[in-house]
Amino acid sequence: MKNLITFCIIIISFKINSQEISTPKLDSVISMEEVIIKSNTILGNKFVAKNRTGAAYFLSTDELAEFYYTDINRAFNKISGVNFYEEDGFGLRPNISIRGTSPERSSKIAIMEDGILISPAPYSASSAYYFPSVARMQAVEVLKGSSQIQYGPYTTGGAINFVSTEIPETFKGKITTSYGSFNTGQTHATFGDSSTNLGYMLEYLNYSSDGFKSLGNNLNTGFDINEITSKIKYKILKDSNINQSFELKFHYYDEISNETYLGLTDPDFRTNPYLRYPGSEKDKMDADHIQYIFTHEINFSKKLKVSSKFYHNGFKRNWYKIDDVVFDGDSQKIAKVITNPNQFAGHLSILNGDLDSESAIKVKANNREYISKGVQTKIDYHWYGKNKSFNDLEIGLRLHYDEEDRFQWEDIYNINNGSMSLQNYGEMGSQGNRVSSANSFATYIMYKYKIKGLTISPGIRHESIKLNRDDYGNSNPNREDDNLSSRQNKVSVLIPGLGLNYKFNNSFSLFGGVHKGYSPPGSSVGQKAEESINTELGVRFAINQLSGEIIAYRNDYNNLLGNDLAATGGFGELDPFNAGKALVSGFEILLNSTILKKFPISLSYTHTDAKFLTSFGSTQDIWGEVNDGDRIPYIPQHKLNSSLGFKTNKLEFNLNANYNGKFSTLANGSEQISSYLVCDLSINYIIKSNLTLKSKILNIFDEKYAVSRAPAGLRPGHPFGIYTGVEFKF
């Protein structure tokens, strides 16, 4: 099925026409001022991305289909300015950084699906323990720099919007299925139809694997994910210019994954990087996500459009995983044991199953429930002025509430002959019994003025946030108010930005901007927000069959925030802490060539120089002891990606090579992850017009490489794997 999406409304003779997002003619026919983006997109197509007054990238349906990636990390490899570190090898919980933001749980970027913030609790607990599945997406949009202050509250590095499958204009459907290494399978089915007034879409995705790590007794180290999405849309079409539509979206996600925070010591990683210690036998994530979005769009005229969304996201998860190990009465965090194996040799012997012990392993039930809900409205008014100038005024408002409710406990296990057995259950709420919440009101105004080759887009965003925490105590499972302790922090901020783009001709343009970077603080009274001044300057060019962009940027932090995450070696309290000044600068290069028509080539390079400018002690061991001039951990200085394709009427090859430079895992550089080069290959063969054979090989040279030392020890990347399937369209 050629997925259709009405990403833009083209105003030609006052008629509205829909275009397919992957249609090349779109970029060459329309003018930028003639595009009105739908409420579920922030770009809509590559043309808009290439003409925005700031850096942006539109990852299209065709690009996603080249490797039919299920791992968002691999899909993002080709986008300059985006860094990440892997955790599980499948991309279940990515750690993404845009222009040097802290990558831990992607908590410092605005992550959206169909224009709605999708992190479990974006303001009060922004760590992305739930992340949209790229396998069911029609497009992915990435904004960087001054082009993204419309999409807060995180405005420092960038914003990511996942565009889910749209309702088609005619009856169409698609079934894709694949199977491969490690008993990994995927089934994706979608179909829908539209009449004059009514349209619908139904979608199902299953993605499962036994995992590539080895755990005693041949235990499963993989996952099983099921997703259901449905949309229904009703249009009210009148002879007048006023047209309305109502759309209801429902999405359900269910995950069982046998994932752990426990990694490996350096010697054990060198011996077998795919080993899992027996002490992680019981580790499992059980998660459910549900989403409702009701969208109302009304076109009052060809100039004025208003879209409103009412949304509710609910997320429940219990990550049941080893947290401490006890040897000779001494209880230690697993991260400390793995980092200091000689000092804690007895503890390590328990973890790896060499030493039998009673009441030796503490498994914490990280049981949490999240709510994120609200309403947001966008008003767009555009008009032509004197000298054929184009003016566009966009006003947005959002009223939002979210919360994280943690109710955790810790069970005690014995370990004998490498197998764990329950000793006793822990007391409910004894390892966390509190509710963190946030109320926010956000609004922005963006104005775009275009005359001849010059486009200017000033804007300002306002965020007013009230953050609360109610802690009921570790011995109060019934949550009686007598033991309640509360705290509150209020912040209000103006976030200005200015973007410029000057198009000298159809082959060359210059753009740049300056804006304020911002990340909300925590609920501690008086805690400061993260703020920075961000600038960028870039050029875009298209010379014959060579096109690309080169961008330089600088993010100057006056107050960097860290987060106490267990995922990065902390205590898991999620408390932000002030880390002082920091400077992130770098440049990004993106090149595309079709000099050889059947051999498209692309190249992207990211250089990131991220340094602390303040000395401080990080007691949570997230960054270690920090001195002025130390590099910010987990951000490589160099990242290079290249791809080569070969396309005929029936056959398509795609070869992708990704180089990730070395990076430190502690600020002082005492621990590092070595650089690595990984190559993937895909082969797609069109058997019939509606039937395609798809195959891919991940890590074709079977590179054995480490991707992280977080949460607790070295972790491997995906090994050599072959996957084959078919796609049937109807």
pLDDT in tens, 407-436: 999 999 999 999 999 999 999 999 999 999
Question: pLDDT below 70 — which residues of the chain?
Answer: 1-37, 147, 239-240, 562-577, 618-622
Q: Strands 158-164 and 110-113, how do they pair?
A: parallel
Euclidean distance between CA atoms 364 and 387, whole angstroms: 67
CB 234 within 8 A of CB 198: yes
Kindly state whether residue 1 falls inside one of the protein's structural domains.
no
Cα atoms in the Cβ-side hemisphere of radius 13 Å centred on 557:
30
Instruction: Identify which of 260, 259, 231, 263 has the alpha carbon closest to the alpha carbon of residue 246.
Output: 231
Euclidean distance between CA atoms 633 and 631, whole angstroms: 6
Helix extents (H) in 457-545:
none
Query: Over 549-577, what HEC string results?
Result: EEEEEEEEEEECEEECCHHHCCCCCCCEE
CB 674 within 8 A of CB 683: no
First to last CA, the chain: 6
CB 518 within 8 A of CB 530: yes
The boundaries of the domain holding residue 35 are: 8-729
pLDDT given for residue 580 in this prediction: 82
DSSP 157: S
Q: What is the CATH number of the domain that holds 534?
A: 2.40.170.20
Strand-pairing partners, residue 180, are: 184, 723
CB 695 within 8 A of CB 682: yes
Adjacency order of strands within the sheet including 158-164: 56-59, 137-144, 158-164, 110-113, 116-117
The one-letter code for the residue type at 273 is: P
Domain tally, the chain: 1
What are 426's two structure tokens? 């822990």
What are 628's two structure tokens? 């002025």
Residues 6+ apart with CB under 8 A from 386: none
3-state secondary structure of 432: coil
What are 704's two structure tokens? 């054995």
pLDDT in tens, 290-343: 999 999 999 998 899 999 999 999 999 999 999 999 999 999 999 999 999 999
Residue length of the chain: 730
H/E element holding 205? strand 198-209
Euclidean distance between CA atoms 78 and 63, whole angstroms: 10
Instruction: Identify which of 570, 476, 522 has the alpha carbon closest to the alpha carbon of residue 121.
Output: 522
The one-letter code for the residue type at 666 is: L
CB 32 within 8 A of CB 44: no
pLDDT given for residue 279 in this prediction: 96
Q: How many degrees, rounded to 5, is the angle at CA 503 between CA 498 and CA 507?
A: 140
Kindly state whether residue 191 falls inside one of the protein's structural domains.
yes
Helix extents (H) in 328-384:
334-339, 345-351
Kindly state whether residue 696 falls inside one of the protein's structural domains.
yes
pLDDT given for residue 567 in this prediction: 52
CB 442 within 8 A of CB 395: no
Instruction: Tell me the whole-structure pTM to 2 decimals.
Output: 0.92
Kindly state whether residue 431 falls inside one of the protein's structural domains.
yes
**Residue spans of beta strands (DSSP E) within 594-705:** 601-612, 616-617, 625-626, 638-647, 651-660, 663-664, 672-673, 676-688, 691-698
Kindly state whether residue 3 falls inside one of the protein's structural domains.
no
The one-letter code for the residue type at 514 is: V
What are 287's two structure tokens? 């998660």
Euclidean distance between CA atoms 228 and 231, whole angstroms: 10
pLDDT given for residue 298 in this prediction: 94
